Chains A and B, each alone.
Chain A
């Protein structure tokens, strides 16, 4: 019994956030940020070596909610794996499902009716806005501003209600099917979406006045945590992180999919590479998504929403990739098929994983609150990192 107490005490001193005697003598100390910490938005642990309030080394320790989706993919057929895809990054479920149905359609050469493609774009972009709204609120929460979170969630609620109306669920939609989507959208959805577009534009203005122009926020974000385009390239960071470094890399443009080539939108970039640039990129993306949705609604063709697909999908043997622009960046599914109805290998390339991997280098010598601002500006979703 005494031994156990001793072990517990030793552990408490070395692993917890109590200062140990050795650390008293040394000049740096180790701060365990997480796995339960308000700023990590989930179970991410970051081992910080600190010199006072300056970070000398930040080592992220992911894996606390690793679920081995890739192994699950090897154990069930394509249709059965589909619900999993919306659970990898629960905030941009539509995009992830899109990538998976995309790879199957690409490999099996399935036709997707144009109406389904437009519906996919509309729902994907709605999902992107809702994801960015969560990021916006959570990011402000990291920075100590509470109220914008509730405003953002109010707007997000409208999107969730719209998507719930057509898909039946609020977060893990599983709406796309091989060859289309499972339900057609109704007039109520179209009317609701148009109303949402009208409501959202003044809200973006409100966010600009309340948050973006706020001097406290600007001081906290401008020139904080610069991430260069070169750093993004070396680490494979994508999405708003690389666009915030001035590179207009967007999978919707570089590897066009669905009907994005037919739609007119701008890929917002900011060259500064600091937290403010990433912040502004996301805020502008919401506006662009509104534009895309509006155009897609205007052009929405009539017709079926689900093309012909075999009852059990079997892909010809080979190796297929499909990438989409998820809310956090490039999400790619690689499926290797051996001709059976169960995939031989499913690789999920998650954007948050690459985006977080540069944190160690980007946060060098930073103060703790700045490092948390950088982490928030990367927009991490922990299940996406851990998969």
Chain B
């Protein structure tokens, strides 16, 4: 399986229409500088030597579980789940990293969610390993993973109510 085929599967599974309009800014370049996928393809091949990733997919928040299933079907392993706080745009980004244990392909799946109500379905049903990564992301960003079995703080103290990786977190 190559990155191309995978990109093909992504575009069949997730027609571009369902992608959230807010994931790209007005001028067509997303805020993190990634050139967005062509309208018909949510997934785009990237050069590994330049980016450390073979394929990037930008999806709507509702599609991440389906993407995880797709990854699972193709024998990918969960690498990490993490967040990014885009304060200026009022958005949070959740990045799901996958790697393939046999052929070494790297896939990053991204989804943007509104910052005021950061909610995204959990993929821990598909990849139990995502459980801890999502808990950690919840710790750091306050992103709620709906359907997650246990979102108690993992790395932060049990009674932590703050989310230190939010850009407006001052340390108090």
What is the interface of chain A, defined by CB distance below 8 A to chain B? 62-63, 66, 68, 70-71, 74, 103, 106, 229, 232-238, 242, 247, 249, 253-255, 316-323, 330, 332, 334, 336-339, 344-345, 347, 349, 353-354, 357-358, 361, 386-387
- Beyond contacts A235-B77, A236-B127, A254-B99: 14 other A-B pairs, Cβ-Cβ < 8 A, are A62-B155, A233-B76, A234-B128, A234-B129, A235-B78, A236-B79, A236-B129, A247-B102, A318-B32, A319-B32, A321-B106, A332-B52, A332-B97, A336-B32
What's the Cα separation between A238 and B106 when bound, in Å? 14
The 8 closest A-B pairs by CB, nearest first: A254-B104, A321-B52, A235-B129, A317-B33, A63-B155, A233-B77, A236-B78, A349-B80
B70 at the interface (CB under 8 A from A): no
CB of B90 closer than 8 Å to a CB of A: no
Complex: A90 Cα to B84 Cα, angstroms: 26
**Beyond A236-B80, A242-B101, A316-B33, is A63–B154 a contact (Cβ under 8 Å)?**
yes
Q: Kindly provide the distance from the CB of A250 to the nearest chain B CB, expressed in whole angstroms.
A: 9
**Given A63-B155, A70-B140, A70-B165, A233–B52 Cβ distance below 8 Å?**
no
Give the interface segment out of B15-23, B43-51, B113-121. B43-51
Beyond A106-B50, A233-B101, A332-B79, is A317–B32 a contact (Cβ under 8 Å)? yes
The distance in angstroms between the C-alpha atoms of A269 and B128, with both chains bound, is 24
A255, closest chain B residue (CB): B104
Check if A63 sits within 8 Å of B80, measured CB to CB.
Answer: no
Q: Is the CB of A106 within 8 A of B102?
A: no
Please give, as numbers and ranges, the residues of chain B lying within 8 Å of A71 by CB-CB distance. Answer: 164-165, 169
Which residue of chain A lies nearest to B132 when distances are taken between CB atoms in the complex? A357
Q: Does B2 contact A (CB under 8 A)?
A: no
Which of B76, B100, B132 is packed against the most chain A CB atoms within 10 Å? Answer: B132
| Residues from 26 to 80 in B contacting A, C-beta threshold 8 Å | 32-34, 48-53, 75-80
Q: How many angstroms between the C-alpha atoms of A347 and B83 in the bound complex?
A: 9
Q: Which residues from B are CB-within-8-Å of A344?
A: 84
* Beta-carbon contact of A321 and B53 below 8 Å: yes
Taking CB atoms, residues of chain B closer than 8 Å to A103 are: 52
Number of B interface residues, CB 8 Å? 44
Given contacts A232-B77, A254-B103, A317-B32, contact A361 B128 (CB under 8 A): yes
B117 vs chain A, min Cβ distance (A): 21
Report the Cα distance A386→B100, complex, angstroms. 25
Q: Which of B142-163 contact A (CB under 8 A)?
A: 153-157
- Closest B residue to A339 by beta carbon equals B33
> Would you mind naming 27 contact pairs between A and B with Cβ atoms under 8 Å apart?
A62-B154, A66-B156, A68-B164, A71-B164, A103-B52, A233-B77, A234-B127, A235-B77, A242-B101, A316-B33, A317-B32, A317-B33, A318-B32, A318-B33, A318-B51, A320-B52, A323-B106, A330-B79, A330-B99, A337-B33, A338-B32, A347-B80, A349-B97, A353-B136, A354-B129, A358-B129, A361-B128
Q: Does B95 count as interface, using CB distance less than 8 angstroms? A: yes
| CB atoms of A387 and B80 under 8 A apart | no
- B100 proximity list for chain A (CB < 8 A): 254
Distance, CA A338 to CA B31, complexed state (A): 9
Contact B95 A334 (CB under 8 A): yes
Rounded to whole angstroms, the CA-CA distance of A386 and B140 in the bound complex is 13
- Measured CB to CB, the closest approach of chain A to B104, in angstroms, equals 3
With A and B bound together, what is the CA distance between A354 and B33 in angstroms?
29
| Contact partners of A68 in chain B: CB under 8 A | 164
A106 touches B104 (CB 8 A): no
Flag if A249 contacts B102 (CB, 8 Å).
yes
Residues of A within 8 A of B53 (CB): 321
Does B122 make an interface contact (CB < 8 A)?
Answer: no
Contact B32 A247 (CB under 8 A): no
**B24 interfacial contact with A, CB 8 Å:** no
